[in-house]
Amino acid sequence: MIGPETGSNEEGRQDGETETESNAPPLLEVEALDVHYPITKGLLRREVGRVRAVDGVSFDITRGETFGLVGESGSGKTTTAHSVLGLEEPTGGEIRFDGEPVSELSGAALQAFRRRAQLVVQDPNEAFNPRMTIGEAVAEPLLLHGMTDADRRRAIVEDLLERVGLSAPDADRYPHEFSGGEKQRLSIARALVLNPDLIVADEPTSALDGRVQSDVLALLDDVRREFDISILFISHDIDVVRRFCDRVAVMYLGEVVERGPIENVLEFPAHPYTRLLLGSVPSLDPTDQQFERPLTDTVPDPADPPSGCRFHTRCPEIVPPESVELPWDQWMVVVAFRFTLQAGELPESIAVETADGELDDATVRDRFDLPATLQDETVDRGVNEAISALITGDLQAARDRLSETVPTVCERQTPTDTEREPGHSVCCHRYDPAIEAEPRSWVR
């Protein structure tokens, strides 16, 4: 064991408590976590809105488990990670570590928590002071936690350097003498020095190239096994998560949309967003490759997230209203038209031609892949009117006409979690038995 003077993994439990694996609480429980940042205006800093960076996120991590949080940039992964470590104050919800609410820890218990939960950041250059030797930097947390014996610190550091694939004499070298991959090994050594129970690894390999990335992942996996550490692993790269994690939660705009064991979520992805991350094609017809991409590229602002399901403005499986009778490909082009206009993502040529007064019906249809007529008469009329409004430069009227013409349950109702298999849940209207919409089959 390393860092014995800073306590063992049992520290933090009550004396005499002998919790077994089966009745022990998960090491980490995150329940309905909210982190909202106020948007203020004027001298008095009046609150005019909130960035909902994390909105109702729940998951737990058991001992020795690697849990992945995956999602696009801005989905709230880092904010969640920082809240778990107590670096960010939650607006709502609760985080429990070993059964204890982190917000209620103080004194020695808080000190113990800070030792037991460690962070490994994306850029190892940020983790080291260029004027400190590696030995001093890796040993610094020991000193801060009261280990005054320099020889003992040195022995622990040398042992750790060897465990992470470096050598004892490296302790006397400076950070600039190491490559990116070696520096990430050093930051893992530094995170391990206090004998933690949880490592939060925030994109630990995304600054590294291919082979080095695999080596660092393998090292993290080794230390997890050797020291029985849990890892909260943050990544935007679903393939890295696949190789490394036991379970995963997929985040979109501050919410978890799907969660479960890695083999279930990644082999049988249920949420359209997870399917998109995996590069799959939602389609009944494998030749229909058209919508393997989101309806629009614009990720909405977390200060003003879409109503209902937050993914509906981009969702290639968005539920059509019962009254609409369109073949799937026509439904897709119509909703893509609607949400592209809503997002203000006008093709440049259209924007120019609108300004010049030169836009015509055929050009709009061509740019948006809209057929000359649509099978459903009501939708056809609505789309014609929207195109006419667009041609006259009245974008708002075009948007309004389309939202009246093709409303969807996905924008009206907030979806709830549905369990697919034990431990695998998805938050999507297509799995709600009360809504007449089956999940679409998909191919990769």
Residues that bind ligand ATP (CB under 6 A): 37, 51, 53, 71, 73-79, 236, 302
Question: What's the min distance (Å) between Cβ of 78 and ligand ATP?
Answer: 3
Question: What's the min distance (Å) between Cβ of 96 and ligand ATP?
Answer: 21
Pair of tokens at residue 166: 């470096």
* 8 A C-beta contact, residue 232 and residue 238: no
CA 113 – CA 102 distance, rounded (Å): 8
CB closer to ligand ATP out of 52 and 338:
52
CB closer to ligand ATP out of 69 and 319:
69
CB closer to ligand ATP out of 244 and 442:
244
Sequence-ordered list of residues with C-beta below 8 angstroms from that of 226, at least 6 positions apart, any chain: 163
Question: What's the min distance (Å) between Cβ of 38 and ligand ATP?
Answer: 8
CB closer to ligand ATP out of 29 and 203:
203
DSSP code of residue 121: -
Question: What's the min distance (Å) between Cβ of 208 and ligand ATP?
Answer: 16
Question: What's the min distance (Å) between Cβ of 15 and ligand ATP?
Answer: 38
Strand partners, 36: 52
CB closer to ligand ATP out of 298 and 384:
298
* 8 A C-beta contact, residue 247 and residue 261: yes
CB closer to ligand ATP out of 216 and 334:
216
DSSP code of residue 54: E
Question: What's the min distance (Å) between Cβ of 58 and ligand ATP?
Answer: 16
CB closer to ligand ATP out of 39 and 155:
39
SS3 110: helix
* 8 A C-beta contact, residue 236 and residue 76: no
Nearest of 232, 260, 258, 287 to residue 65 by alpha carbon: 232
* 8 A C-beta contact, residue 194 and residue 138: no
Query: How open is the CA angle 29-35-38, to the nearest 5 degrees?
Result: 170
Checking DSSP bridges between strand 198-202 and strand 230-235, what pairing results, if any? parallel
CA 75 – CA 120 distance, rounded (Å): 19
Strand partners, 258: 250, 426
Q: How many CB atoms lie within 10 A of CB 311?
A: 28
CB closer to ligand ATP out of 228 and 301:
301
Nearest of 253, 201, 206 to residue 232 by alpha carbon: 201
Question: What's the min distance (Å) between Cβ of 212 and ligand ATP?
Answer: 20
Type of residue at 175? P
CA 59 – CA 67 distance, rounded (Å): 9
- DSSP structure string for 138-174: HHHHHHHTT---HHHHHHHHHHHHHHTT--GGGGGS-
* 8 A C-beta contact, residue 138 and residue 183: no
Type of residue at 302? P
Question: What's the min distance (Å) between Cβ of 302 and ligand ATP?
Answer: 5
Question: What's the min distance (Å) between Cβ of 227 and ligand ATP?
Answer: 26
CB closer to ligand ATP out of 156 and 234:
234
CB closer to ligand ATP out of 70 and 402:
70
Question: What's the min distance (Å) between Cβ of 303 and ligand ATP?
Answer: 8
Question: What's the min distance (Å) between Cβ of 206 and ligand ATP?
Answer: 9
* Cα atoms in the Cβ-side hemisphere of radius 13 Å centred on 239: 5
Strand partners, 165: none
CB closer to ligand ATP out of 252 and 339:
252
